[in-house]
Chain A
């Protein structure tokens, strides 16, 4: 979903950088407050960040015959919110811009707005919507992750359409063209990513439920219900 260095007019580079900056500043402030308050959360932040690192390095083939990578930002969004996620996402994007020539410093603002901010924001909206409902928490994780992934690519399409409106049809026509390249490719990847991160979430629920309750990712009830379901039919008490 990177917009390559040089492929965005400088005016747009500045616009997206300006939009991204407040999120980064808020993220740094939140991160600092969290570190001061309780270092217990650091391992979980490590896990969330690790998935963004791993998944955004994997270029996977898709139905459209081109390759793209998942984003992995959903998990971090649910546990730590949009601002802290934007910092972790920005670190990954900076690494790729500096060393891999995937994206660049001038387009970093636009790439951050799509992957580190916009995707997480959409995921967070889904999370808030489903959090206190009766829907199984793993289904919620799946949806949040898949939506955060997909919306990232929708926003990239939008950014490019704004900068390069088609001669015939303007921005909508151009958006459609970029949408076909980025977002359609992404649908199967988003589904796989959702499943994998839901599974990871299950292991976090098994190993460290107290940290999820403390962060109020889900209520104690919901976590307990999910754990019971996991261990319901296990012989001899199962893991506990």
Chain B
């Protein structure tokens, strides 16, 4: 039984460990949990001596007007992936059922 679900078990433990680490880090209260992209940009500003705002896009780009809209677009991206995932696994499961019924 354990051997059959060993991989599931390991994954759950690793995810739990990940959550615990997050909780202990965030309880410190000094971390903003900003994106590493932004931290990287700040580092560039620090290295070059130019403020972050002075970096203007080379090619004009659309910027989501708020965090709400940004998160909805990210949700859209993830849900599209989830949709395809469910579709394919469902298709395979169905295929399997039909072929084993014969």
The complex places the Cα of A77 from the Cα of B39 at a distance, in Å, of 29
Whether A67 contacts B35 by the Cβ 8 Å rule is yes
Whether B44 contacts A53 by the Cβ 8 Å rule is no
| A6, A13, A46: the one within 8 Å of B84 (CB) | A46
The reply on A233 being an interface residue by CB < 8 A is yes
Main secondary structure of the interface of B (DSSP, over half): helix
Whether B88 contacts A46 by the Cβ 8 Å rule is yes
Known A-B contacts A10-B58, A13-B58; A181 and B14 likewise in contact (beta carbons under 8 Å): no
Q: Which residue of B lies closest to A106 (CB)?
A: B58
Q: Which residues of A contact B98 (CB under 8 A)?
A: none
A-B pairs with CB below 8 Å: how many? 181
**Interface magnitude class on chain B:** 35 or more
CB distance from B98 to the nearest CB of A (A): 13
CB distance from A230 to the nearest CB of B (A): 6
Whether A192 contacts B39 by the Cβ 8 Å rule is no
Q: Which residues from 30 to 82 on chain A have a C-beta closer than 8 Å to any C-beta of chain B?
A: 43-44, 46-47, 49-54, 56-68
Whether B36 contacts A100 by the Cβ 8 Å rule is no
The complex places the Cα of A185 from the Cα of B47 at a distance, in Å, of 20
Q: Which residues of B contact A100 (CB under 8 A)?
A: 64, 70, 73-74
The complex places the Cα of A4 from the Cα of B39 at a distance, in Å, of 11
The complex places the Cα of A181 from the Cα of B36 at a distance, in Å, of 7
Chain A, residues 195-208, CB within 8 Å of chain B (1/0): the string is 11011001100011
The reply on A145 being an interface residue by CB < 8 A is no
Q: Which residues of B contact A102 (CB under 8 A)?
A: 37
The reply on A121 being an interface residue by CB < 8 A is no
Chain A contact residue count (CB 8 A cutoff): 75
Whether B73 contacts A198 by the Cβ 8 Å rule is no
Q: Which residues of A contact B100 (CB under 8 A)?
A: 240
The complex places the Cα of A240 from the Cα of B99 at a distance, in Å, of 11
The complex places the Cα of A104 from the Cα of B41 at a distance, in Å, of 13
Whether A207 contacts B93 by the Cβ 8 Å rule is yes
Q: Which residue of B lies closest to A141 (CB)?
A: B7
CB distance from A136 to the nearest CB of B (A): 10
Point out residues on B near A: beta carbons under 8 Å: 1, 3-4, 7-8, 10-11, 14-15, 18, 21-22, 25-26, 28, 30-37, 39-41, 43-44, 47-48, 55-59, 61-64, 70, 73-75, 77-78, 80-85, 87-89, 91-93, 96, 100
Can you list 26 A-B contacts (CB < 8 A)? A2-B37, A4-B41, A7-B44, A46-B84, A47-B84, A50-B83, A57-B74, A57-B75, A57-B81, A60-B18, A63-B21, A63-B25, A65-B25, A65-B28, A65-B32, A66-B33, A68-B36, A100-B73, A104-B59, A104-B61, A106-B59, A181-B39, A191-B18, A192-B15, A232-B4, A233-B4
